[in-house]
Amino acid sequence: MPNLTRRTALLTSLAAIAASAAPAHAKTPTLSGDRFAAEIQALEAKAGGRLGVAMISLGGEARGHRLSERFALCSTFKLPLAAMVLWAADQGQIALSERLPYSKQDVLGNSPVTQARVGEGALSIEDLARAAQVTSDNTAGELLLRRLGGPSMLTAWLASQGDTTTRLDHYLDRLQLTSSPDGSDTTTPQAMARTILTLTTGDALSPASRAKLLAWMRATRTGERRLRAGLPSAWAMGHKTGTGINPGSSNQINDIAIAFPPGQPPLALAVYYQAPGYFEAQRPEDEAVLAQAGSIAARWG
């Protein structure tokens, strides 16, 4: 946990930036008569679940389906978390070389990097941020959240970057894996797509930190049957997946990405899919919905 002085300094920085941030997410309505949206709606009807898709090109408006509806973040929050780590390092609030201690008792499920290296007793903040993004390491995400002051600090930082919609309310052991009535741990497709553009093409991060975040996103290999499978192989892309499987609620299958069509502006995609029920294991047909959404986006992007 950061000491009081550091946490106060970070809060002060976030408050100052948030005060001047433009409410960007209110300016991206669905385009009426959009054939892209119509194809996404048809895909949703065929799949049987609830599908939210936002596509935004640099300087453009949001297009898609269920743009302003809330969906569970699941692990997609780890992309802005990694970005916040790099931002805090840019601001001199933390050092990427700082090592955060942890033990076997701290290791959560789906933690391939921290599990394999638990014998080291600590990992650097940079290694943890890369692990959270590239492998969706849950323990890494938990350690970083605690170091930065908790879920509310990530929510405040996102607001400081213009995203007043996305909210993280819980640590990973209590993270809501489906859309909750009170909006806990949720985002909307258009909010997240706009945030992806901000973090990967804007000046929120220093050029070096932005390049590092993009490198981590491109190195991510979770969910290869999702958006990556639907976008043309000639398109460079980086992404972050999220998955929620919890008895009593519908499975959540997510993927958010920045893509670089040759000779065209960057394209941000945020796809959140609530499957038509609970299934014990992740289903290929649910991931295929995201691949098809990516294929549709490639035609209309």
**From the candidates 75, 111, 136, 250, which is the catalytic residue?**
75
Give the phi and the psi of residue 244 in degrees, each rounded to 5.
-125, 115
Q: Which neighbouring-strand residues pair with 64?
A: 54
DSSP codes, 231-255:
S-TTSEEEEEEEEE--TTS--EEEE
Cβ neighbors of 248 (< 8 A, separation 6 or more) are: 278
Compute φ and ψ for 63, nearest 5 degrees.
Answer: -130, 145
Quick one: tokens of 102? Answer: 């942890």
> 17 is written with which tokens?
């930036």
285: Cβ–Cβ under 8 A, 6 or more apart, which residues? 47
Q: Apex CA 86: angle with CA 179 and CA 59, to 5°?
A: 65
Strand runs (DSSP E) across the chain, as ranges? Answer: 50-57, 63-65, 71-72, 99-101, 122-124, 186-187, 236-244, 252-260, 267-274
> Active-site residue 75, yes or no?
yes
**Chain center to CA of 78:** 6
Active site (catalytic) residues: 75
